Amino acid sequence: MSAPRRPADPSGLERYYVLTGGRSGPGGPAATLDVATLVVSRAAPSPGMQHEHEEILRRCREPLSVAELGAHLDLPFNILAVLLSDLLQAGSVEARDPIPAHDAGRGPDLALLEEVLSGLERL
């Protein structure tokens, strides 16, 4: 007699495998993503779209960092990067590098700090 099958854990590795279609890393333009990259939606969710893709598009109506997005969706970076790769290739999102500090000696950019504070308050 065989051992009883355990139910699949929807929050485990099987879920990640299904979400990414078995892919282990992003390709194309998403290969350069990092946790500070800002993501902004360029399209609305469409019917029949994968739930996580819909959530990314909804949450990124205003620029959101990959790190913040991963925290909201409770997804590891590499899984999120694969999902973002799909959306980047479809033209549904845009990825931007964070605003660089041009003059390190003049102090932090006040506008950038206010945006960060605003984003943290929305959490």
Question: What's the rounded mean pLDDT across residues 24-29?
Answer: 69
Q: What per-residue confidence (pLDDT) applies to 60?
A: 94
- Phi and psi torsions of 59, nearest 5°: -75, -20
d(C-alpha 38, C-alpha 48), whole Å: 26
pLDDT band at 102 (very low <50, low <70, confident <90, very high): low
pTM to 2 decimals? 0.67
DSSP calls for 12-80: SHHHHHHHHTT--S--GGGGG--TT-EEEESS---TT--HHHHHHHHHTSS-EEHHHHHHHHT--HHHH
pLDDT tens per residue across span 35-92 = 889 999 999 998 989 889 999 999 999 999 999 999 999 998 888 998 999 999 999 9
Residue scoring higher pLDDT (45 or 109): 45
CA angle in degrees (0–180, nearest 5) for 61-66-70? 95
Cα 81 to Cα 27, 40, 60, 95, 107: the distances in Å are: 9, 14, 14, 11, 32
pLDDT band at 113 (very low <50, low <70, confident <90, very high): confident
d(C-alpha 58, C-alpha 11), whole Å: 22
